[in-house]
Amino acid sequence: MTHAQQRKQEQRSYLLGLIFSIMLTLAAFGLVWSGDLTGGVRIITLAALAVVQMAVQLRFFLHIDLKKSHRDDLQLILFTVLILSLMVGGTLLILTNQHMRM
């Protein structure tokens, strides 16, 4: 592959990332402004849109994907996500529980 072709391909990656991110952001804000969904459904939908957008940016801006050469980086971020969910989930569980007992 020549440099020009490769540049075009990588340029496309950034552009796709930008377009997908804009769409996901507008979807999330539109959801809140329209007020179509409420309560738990809305929170879950917004969280899902955020997770998808984070994945999009990791893929298209940070070039983390499922290729073998990226395994270390991918595993590291997946492990971090695991630790983060334990910390955030655990903190919220304990604090909510404590609040209920007060």
Q: Is 75 in the site for another protein (CB under 8 A)?
A: no
Q: Is 64 in the site for another protein (CB under 8 A)?
A: yes
In the complex, the smallest distance separating the C-beta of residue 13 from another protein, rounded to whole angstroms, is: 8
In the complex, the smallest distance separating the C-beta of residue 74 from another protein, rounded to whole angstroms, is: 9
Is the distance from CB of 27 to CB of 49 less than 8 angstroms?
A: yes
Which residues are near another protein by CB under 8 A?
A: 3, 6-7, 9-11, 14-15, 17-18, 21-22, 25, 28-29, 31-33, 38, 42-43, 46-47, 49-50, 53-54, 57-58, 61-64, 67, 69-70, 72-73, 76-77, 80, 83-84, 87-88, 91-92, 95-96, 99
